[in-house]
Amino acid sequence: MFYNNAMAQTNCRYFSGYKPCSKSQSCDSDCVSYDAPKISILIVHLGALGAVVRSTSLLRAIKRKYPSSMLTWVTDAPAHLLLQNHPVIDRVLTTREADLLQLRSLEFDVAFVIDKSLKAVGVLRHTQVLQVFGFTANPVNGAILPATPAAEELWELGLNNQKKFFENKKPETQLMIEALELGPYKRDSYWLPLTESEQAQLQERRSGFLTNGKKWVLGFNTGCSNVIAAKKLTVEFHRLMITSLQSRYPEAQIVLLGGPEDTERNVQIARGLPVISTATESGLRDGLISVAACDVVITGDSLGMHMAISQGRQVVAWFGPTCAHEIDLYGRGVSILTKSSCSPCWKRACEKSIMCYDQVSLQEIVHAVESCRTNSLSGGLALGNSTPETLSSDLA
C-alpha cells in the first residue's frame, strides 16, 4: 500500500517510513492505533543476563513517570533475545556495529545508564542525549561516577563491602528505582511476559511434564555462568536433593533446567534418576518457557533464578558468594543462606577446601519446598498459574 505523504502520520510510534504497520490499513488521523510519543528514552543495560531480566522491573516505573514515551533498550547479545517483543519496549539494539549505526540516527530526551561500566557509558557516544540518569564516567581516567546525586547510594555500595554486604537492606530493584529518579518505590515485579505462541508452548510443555500421575512440577536450575562458579551446587548435592525430594513428593515431576554450560552437568545429575532434562541448547526464550512450566524452582543466584521470578514461580533460592538481601522474591519464595562465615564475598575464585556451596542445608531446602508448595496452593492460585501480571502493581 502507498500512503499520501500529506496524510501519513510520520510521528506515530508504529510508522517506519518504508512499509505499512500491522495496526491499520490506513495511515491517517482516523487510525485508532495512532500513538505519537512525546519523549524518547534510552535504556542502557548490557550486564549479566540475570541482571537484565531484573531490570525489566523498572519498566512500569518508567511508564508511570513518562507515560507517553518511546523506549529503546541497548544491551549485549544474547540478552536482546529476552527483551524482543516486549509490549512496552519499542526498539531493542545490541552493541554490535550494525546496531550502533542505527543508534547514531536517533536522539533521546532521557537515558538511563544502569551498568557501572565504561562500555555502557560509551554507548552514549553513539547518539545524542539531553539528560542522563544512573552512571557516567570521568573522561580522563575512566572512573565510573554517579550521573546525578540520586545515584550516589548505589554507586557507593560498589565501593564499600561493609555497606554492600552488611549495612544495606534494600533490594537491587529499589536501589535502581531511587538511583534513576523514577519516583516512589512501588515494588514492581519483573516484567518479562511470554508471547501468545510461547504461552501455547508452555501449556504443551507442562502437559508433557505432568504424565504418569504427576501433579506438579519441581524444577532444578542446576548451574550458572562461569563468572562466579561458586553460585552452583555440586553434582553430588543435586543428586542427594533429588533423591530426598522424590521420596517426599512422589507426585512431583522433577525437571532439570539450565543453559549450554550446564549440558554435561545435567547429564551427570540425571544419571539413573527418574527426572526430565529440559533442552539446554535451544536458546534463552525456550529456557524461559521451561522455567515457566514449573511450579517451584530450586536455584542459585543466577539467570534461572531471575527467570523464575519473572514468571511468578515459587522460588527456593540459595546464596553463597552473593547477597540475598539484594534479591526480592516478592513473597513468592524462600532465600536460604550458606552457613559459611565468609559469605557474602562476591569473589570470582576461592581456594577454600570447604566451599560455601558445601555448607547449604538440605533440610532447609526440603522445608522451603514444602513452604513454597503450600503458599502456592493457599494463595488461591492453582499450581502453574501464578504470573507477574497477577502479582505486580499496575502502571497507574
Segment 144-198, tens digit of pLDDT: 999 999 999 999 999 999 999 999 999 999 999 999 999 999 999 999 999 999 9
**What confidence tens digit (pLDDT) does each residue in 98-148 have?**
999 999 999 999 999 999 999 999 999 999 999 999 999 999 999 999 999
In a domain? residue 396: no
pLDDT confidence band for 391 (50 / 70 / 90)? very low
**To which H or E segment does residue 248 belong?**
helix 235-248
Residue 309 C-alpha cell reads as 521470578
Residues 175 and 216 in one domain: no
Q: Is 206 exposed, middle or buried (0-12, 13-18, 19+ CB in 10 A)?
A: buried
- C-beta of residue 308 within 8 angstroms of C-beta of residue 218: no
Residues linked to residue 108 through DSSP beta bridges, in sequence order? 129
Sheet with 39-44: list strands edge to edge: 91-94, 69-75, 39-44, 107-113, 128-137, 144-146
Which residue do the cell numbers 534510552 mark?
42
Residue 104 CA to residue 106 CA, distance in Å, equals: 6
- Looking at residue 378, what is its pLDDT? 66
Residue where one domain finishes, among candidates 125, 152, 179: 179
CB 182 within 8 A of CB 175: no
Q: What pLDDT is attached to residue 382?
A: 43
What is the overall mean pLDDT for the chain?
A: 90
- What's 134's domain CATH number? 3.40.50.2000
Judge whether 10 lies within some domain.
no
Q: Phi/psi of residue 236, each to 5°?
A: -65, -40
Give ∠ CA 192-54-93 in degrees, rounded to 5.
70
Taking CA atoms, 323 is separated from 171, 185, 226, in Å, by 9, 20, 18
| Same domain (yes/no): 253, 165 | no
- Are residues 169 and 204 located together in one domain of the fold? no
- What integer pLDDT is reported at residue 380 of this predicted model? 39
**What pLDDT was estimated at residue 342?**
85
Both 371 and 257 in a single domain?
yes
The SS3 of residue 138 is coil
Helix (H, G, I), strand (E, B) or coil at 65: helix
Same domain? For 167 and 206 the reply is: no
Please check whether residues 215 and 363 belong to one and the same domain.
yes
User: Which domain does 321 fall in, by range?
Assistant: 196-391
Residue-wise pLDDT for 235-294, tens only, equals 999 999 999 999 999 999 999 999 999 999 999 999 999 999 999 999 999 999 999 999
Q: Clarify whether residues 166 and 204 are in a common domain.
A: no
pLDDT band at 54 (very low <50, low <70, confident <90, very high): very high
In 3-state terms, what secondary structure has residue 268? Answer: helix
Q: pLDDT at position 381, please?
A: 41
If asked whether residues 359 and 217 sit together in one domain, one would say yes
Omega into 260 within 30° of 0, i.e. cis? no
Beta strands in 95-167 (DSSP E): 107-113, 128-137, 144-146
Chain segment 204-229, per-residue pLDDT in tens: 999 999 999 999 999 999 987 777 77
Query: 115 lies in a domain?
Result: yes
Confidence of residue 331 (pLDDT cuts 50, 70, 90): very high
C-alpha span between 240 and 316 (Å, rounded): 16
Residue 6 in any domain: the answer is: no
**In the predicted structure, residue 6 carries a pLDDT above the cut 70:** no
pLDDT at 5: 52
Work out the pLDDT band at 34, boundaries 50, 70, 90. Answer: confident
The confidence score (pLDDT) of residue 379 equals: 55
Given a cut of 50, whether residue 86 has pLDDT beyond it is: yes
Q: Does residue 260 fall inside a structural domain?
A: yes
Number of compact structural domains in the chain: 2
Which residues make Cβ contacts (< 8 Å) with residue 120, sequence separation at least 6? Answer: 44, 45, 46, 47, 113, 114, 135
Q: Which percentage of the chain shows pLDDT scores above 70?
A: 93
- Return the pLDDT at 42: 98
Do residues 70 and 210 share a domain? Answer: no
* Residues 108 and 208 reside in one and the same domain: no
- Residue 99 forms part of a structural domain: yes
Is 145 in the same domain as 174? yes
